[in-house]
Amino acid sequence: MKTWWRRWRIRIFMILAILGPGFITANVDNDTGGILTYSQAGASFGYTLLWTMIPITLALIVVQEMCARMGAVTGKGLSDLIREEFGLRITFLLLVLLVIVNFTNVVSEFSGIAASMELFHLSKYLSVPVCAALVWVLVVKGDFKVVEKVFLCASVIYITYIIAGVKAGPNWHEALVQTVKLPERSAWSQKGYVYMVVGVIGTTISPWMQFYLQSSLVDKGTTIKNYTKTTLIDVVVGSFFTDIVGWFIVVACAATLYVHGAGAINSAADAASAMLPFAGQYAFILFAAGLFNASLFSASILPLSTAYTVCEGLGVESGLDKKWKDAPFFYWFYTLLIVFGAAVVLIPNFPLIKMIILSQVLNGVLLPVVMIFMLRLINKHELMGKYTNSTWFNWVAYATAGIVIGLSVAMMVMPS
């Protein structure tokens, strides 16, 4: 018995030891947008959006592996490759779209900070400026790698959603059936349903994640020589973990808010009530702590990733290892993203929850554009050599892009 346990303990520690950019990237996506989009999906539509989780997980693994492989083979970030292969003009247009969408995500993260602190009756006019300053100091003046690991360890609080999903007493048979069954045709006639499907896709496979993952692997020094099974395990474990958490968030809210007719979530307090079956009077504290951790982590990493991506695409100096005078555009761009992202949230009566969901829908709309560039790059023999996509990977990736384009168009033309 002891030998069996010792063998499994060694395997668990080995898996934890190799987790890196892939796991971190997937976990970052359990941010404000992820938590509240999954919560909204369960509260508004019950179990009927659970079917998205399996195909989204498959697509997430394929997309993230493509990015990891491109980074390992070329030693370059995604925006750098796009500029080299498609020219500065096209790259600039893509970066403009990415910055617009990413800015809404930055606003979303500060909205999450405001919403979580309001559960403690702390005004956003105090919490948001203080946290914006804290984020800036931690990243610019501190050791970001240490900060990243601290936030990642704190992400263990997401497990409370798995427990909450169990304790909520859901209809397990219906939940499992809805996970493998497509929704009724009538669901597709509801604009709100299509809108939420795009949002769930966008929050799970965010465009900015792909730029961040590829750059992280390049910075880590990953090459095709050391691109081994450990890198793939990192990507796969991260993808499964984030989507399992997402599945249980939907279940928890479906079994509580939806079943009791609460309807759409209009505040963080609404979403926190999904924790009641598990946490009782501590529900708000657990939810607020998880939301605050996720928001503060992403509020630091998302503007940083955007600044890196833009500088990389434009071919200008960037990096926290450089002084302000050596990379002024990088530091100013990062700073302005934080300042304006926080400032927008301070607008009186700003619709926090609506903004958070909208940012994830915009992620979904932009995703196919980024994927098409990725597919063009990864299938170039001159660039990737023998490491181009397999037919199966191409099929999954092109199908994902095509489906999201179709859903985005349908969402736009459907009457309100």
Residue 135: name the closest of 343, 297, 330, 378 by CA: 297
Q: How far is CA 66 from CA 18, 29, 375, 379, 398, in A?
A: 19, 18, 9, 10, 13
Q: Which two tokens stand for residue 44?
A: 């508004």
226 by DSSP, 3-state: which? coil
Enumerate residue ranges in the chain where pLDDT < 70: 1-29, 143-158, 226-231, 273-284, 416
Phi, psi of 200 (to 5 degrees): -65, -40
Return d(Cα 342, Cα 337) in angstroms, integer. Answer: 8
Q: Which two tokens stand for residue 260?
A: 């009791």
For residue 7, what pLDDT is reported?
A: 55
For residue 283, what pLDDT is reported?
A: 64
For residue 326, what pLDDT is reported?
A: 87
Q: Which two tokens stand for residue 36?
A: 């509240």
Return d(Cα 90, Cα 145) in angstroms, integer. Answer: 32
Q: Which two tokens stand for residue 165?
A: 């999903």
Length of the chain: 416
Return d(Cα 247, Cα 276) in angstroms, integer. Answer: 18
List pLDDT tens digits, range 54-78. 999 999 889 988 988 898 889 888 9
Entry pTM = 0.86
Phi, psi of 315 (to 5 degrees): 75, 30
Give me the helix-helix angle, 88-118 and 283-314, nearest 10°. Answer: 160
CA torsion through residues 213, 215, 217, 223, sign: positive
List pLDDT tens digits, range 157-211. 667 777 777 777 788 999 999 999 988 888 888 999 999 999 999 988 888 888 8
Q: Which two tokens stand for residue 264?
A: 């759409």
Return d(Cα 167, Cα 252) in angstroms, integer. Answer: 8
Q: How far is CA 303 from CA 39, 88, 363, 394, in A?
A: 24, 22, 15, 30
Q: Which two tokens stand for residue 196?
A: 């939420």
